[in-house]
Amino acid sequence: MYSDFAGAVTEYRRSQYDRWHRRNEDPDSAAAGEARQESYRIKGVAQHELFRVRLIASSPELVDAARNAFDTAARLHDASTKHELRDHGDDAKEALHRFIGLASRDVQ
């Protein structure tokens, strides 16, 4: 179950990168609109998995780590530059790794 959340957040992060790049190339293009819509769809999947974590997790720390991983991924498309996008992406990856570390102790 925790791996489902990690996978959904990874996919959400990827969709946020795509959304940023399509908007940066041409904000009024059909590709930018499609990337935005796809990011919304994947966000819904990741939110669903976050709800599952909240229902199953044995500690508030684990729930907070999951929430942080989700929220950090959500901020990627707000970056103003490629450098900022990379920094946000690194933050999102670190947040997800923190969640995975805590989750692995929860299932052992």
Residue 106's pLDDT is what? 81
Neighbours of 57 (CB within 10 A): 21
Residue 55's pLDDT is what? 95
% the chain with pLDDT above 70: 99
pLDDT at 108 over 70: no
Alpha-helical (H) ranges within 1-81 are 2-25, 30-56, 60-74
CA angle 84, 66, 5 (to 5 degrees): 100
CA distance 18 to 22: 6
pLDDT at 107 over 90: no
CA distance 10 to 89: 10
Quote the mean pLDDT of the chain: 95
- pTM given for the model: 0.92
